[in-house]
Every structure is written in structure tokens, then in C-alpha cells.
Amino acid sequence: MLNIRRQRGKNRPAVVETLSGQELELLSNGSLNLRRPDLVRKAEGGSTSVEVRARSMEEANSIAEGIKARYPGAEIQRPATPSTKYVEEPVGFLLQFGGEHAGRSIVKSCLALAYEAGLSIDDCEHAKEYLLSDGEPCFGYYNDADLVLNRPDAAFLHCVFVCGDPTSGQVLGYVEYFGHRRLVLCLSSSFSGTAFSRCYAVDPVSGRELTVQIELPFGPEDVKSIYACEKFDSEKLAEAIGRLVEDYQQRARTAMLERATASAVEFALANCGAEDGEVLTEAHFVVISRLVAERLGPVLAYLLGRGRFSEAELREIRERLHEDESTDQ
């Protein structure tokens, strides 16, 4: 959703669903598209017409060629330009996190940072037992207080932190994903080396490394209560996700306007009456201004009109959330 830069490969579209049940694809640039081509057949008299809605002109042309190959006498009518339609209802998706693989990934991230600090896997017996011997998970969800003392403005914070305290004998860890999934770990309860701490933090959207200060004031009894989910509040999680959604919505609105502006300018230049290589005249600019305004009108009206959910939409959203209360979202 955030179009994070990947070291390899591309961000795959995410499947989302409108309140009315229509499935769409959310692309990494923030736009929505059909999940699959839509073909509607209509029989009229002795002939059949097929209306095709595709995700791109290339896909539409491919489908049209397939129809023509199957029905050689078919007449193909192609639109001059692709059309844009704006979704007029809320779009929902599951924000799931957890499971065995996620837990192992979390522990391995902290273990890698502990190794960088000079510890071996044998110095982190709880992590070793969990990863190699199917031991008990050595982490728990935590949001009782903000452990990041100088939380940056970047909403989508990623960080991994480990520290060793010979007084308590503990090697503790803290992991935070996208600013809202926060976990505390205990890698060891028998540490006797020199006190240390290591931290790596990054804004995953921009890739910019961040400097943060983290404090883990937990003894063995605190760790037990964290593991027992006594320091986790689902309402605080919802509030944290709400702040991230607001940030994402602002990014999405900005990206939508940028895409619409670029498309409008491209259309206006192609239809202002100027030939390729011709110097634009004042008359051309008048036409360009009018065409850009006409093309931007619908998106501006959409952005201004979708600032708030209606009461009916909010009621249905609450009902959907209530149905999913038993799932980890």
C-alpha cells in the first residue's frame, strides 16, 4: 500500500473489497483497478454482443483479438481513450499480523542485532530454544507505554532494539513494525557480560535511517506479564492504526491528484490541435487550460466529496468490524 522500495521484485497488488462486496486490486501507486476482466454478454435477436471492461488497453485489445479469432465475423469497437471511474464507497482490507513464521522472523531480527553486538546464539538461550527446539515463544505484544523516547515524525516507523543488563541477567529486545505493532522480547535470562545496547530504525516508506532512543525498564516479572498479554490494549492498537490510516489517506489523496494532473496535461497536449514539434500558441494554451480543467473536475469533486463517511457507511463498517472481533487484525 505504501509502495515501499524493494531490493528485488515489484509490490504485488492487494485484494480489497468495497462495502457492497466488489473485489478490486489496490495497486502500489495507490490507484484501484478491476481484480479481473469483466465480460458481459447480451443476446439480441440473432446476434450476441460482448461488452468488455479490462484493466488496461493492452488487456482489452488482447481480449478483443481472442473474441475475433473465435468469431471471425465479429465487429470490434474500441474506445478512443481509457475511462476512469472513482469508487464511491469505502474499501476495506484485513491488516493481519502474527503466526509462527512472523514470530520466528521477529526473534531472528533481534538475534541478528545481538550478534552484531558481539553475542552468540548460545548467549541467547531463550531465542535458541524457540528457534531450534520448538520452545516457547520468547516475546509478547506491548503498548502499555511508548518505549521510544524520541519518537520521530515518520508515522511508519520500523525499529529493532536489543540491550543486555548484567544486573538483571537479561538480554531484552524491542521490535516495532509500521509504528503500531510493538513487541518486547527476552532473549536471555543468564547474561553476565558488559552492559550494551544496539538499535536500528528506519522509515520504511522513504528508506531513511532514523536515530531513536529506546528504554526497556523491565524485570523478569514484567516480562512474564507482557508474555501474558497484560500490557497490551486493543483500543490503543486501534488508535495507533487510526493515525496511520489518516497519514496513508493523505498520501493517497496527494498521489491521486498528481496522477490525475499528469493524465490531464498529457490528454490536453495531445488534443489541443498542435502538431508534433509545433510551437504552442496562445490559442493552444487556451484549449489546453480548458481541457485540463475539464479532466480535473471529476477528481477534484471526488476528493472534496469523499472527506467523510456517511452515517450508513460508518454503521456498516462497525458491523463488519464486530463480525471480525475474534480475528487478529
Tell whether 135 and 189 lie within a shared domain: yes
Do residues 233 and 143 touch, judged by C-beta distance below 8 A? yes
Q: What are the pLDDT digits (tens) for 84-127?
A: 777 878 887 777 787 788 999 999 999 999 999 999 999 999 99
Do residues 152 and 129 touch, judged by C-beta distance below 8 A? no
pTM across the whole model: 0.75
Strand partners, 175: 160, 183
Tell whether 26 and 81 lie within a shared domain: yes
Residue 75 lies in a domain: yes
Name residues whose C-beta falls within 8 Å of residue 227's C-beta, 6 or more positions apart in sequence: 137, 139, 140
Tell whether 78 and 142 lie within a shared domain: no
pLDDT of residue 299: 83
Closest CA to 126 of 111, 115, 116, 113: 111
Residue 239 lies in a domain: no
pLDDT of residue 316: 65
pLDDT of residue 104: 94
Tell whether 82 and 109 lie within a shared domain: no
Tell whether 223 and 254 lie within a shared domain: no
pLDDT of residue 259: 87
pLDDT of residue 9: 84
Residue 289 lies in a domain: yes
Q: What residue numbers bound the domain in which 83 lies?
A: 14-92
Query: What angle in degrees, to the nearest 10, is found between the helix axes of 282-305 and 234-270?
Result: 160
Residue 149 is classified by DSSP as: T
Tell whether 75 and 156 lie within a shared domain: no
Tell whether 50 and 151 lie within a shared domain: no
Query: CB-side exposure of 300: number of CA atoms within 13 Å?
Result: 8
Scanning 24-118, the segments in alpha helix (DSSP H) are 57-70, 100-116
Tell whether 139 and 217 lie within a shared domain: yes
pLDDT of residue 327: 45
Residue 7 lies in a domain: no
Do residues 138 and 130 touch, judged by C-beta distance below 8 A? yes
Tell whether 38 and 146 lie within a shared domain: no
Residue 4 lies in a domain: no
Domain count, the chain: 3
pLDDT of residue 143: 95
Closest CA to 137 of 97, 92, 184, 179: 184
Among residues 211, 232, 253, the one where a domain terminates is: 232
Q: How far is CA 112 from CA 106, 120, 127, 190, 196, in A?
A: 10, 9, 11, 19, 15
Tell whether 118 and 200 lie within a shared domain: yes
Residue 5 lies in a domain: no
Tell whether 107 and 228 lie within a shared domain: yes
Residue 126 lies in a domain: yes
Among residues 92, 114, 138, the one where a domain terminates is: 92
Q: Parallel, antiparallel, or unpaired: how do β-strands 139-141 and 181-188 relate?
A: antiparallel
With a cut of 70, list the residues of the chain below it in pLDDT.
79-81, 305-311, 313-329
Residue 153 lies in a domain: yes
Tell whether 106 and 227 lie within a shared domain: yes
Strand partners, 130: none
Among residues 40, 58, 92, the one where a domain terminates is: 92
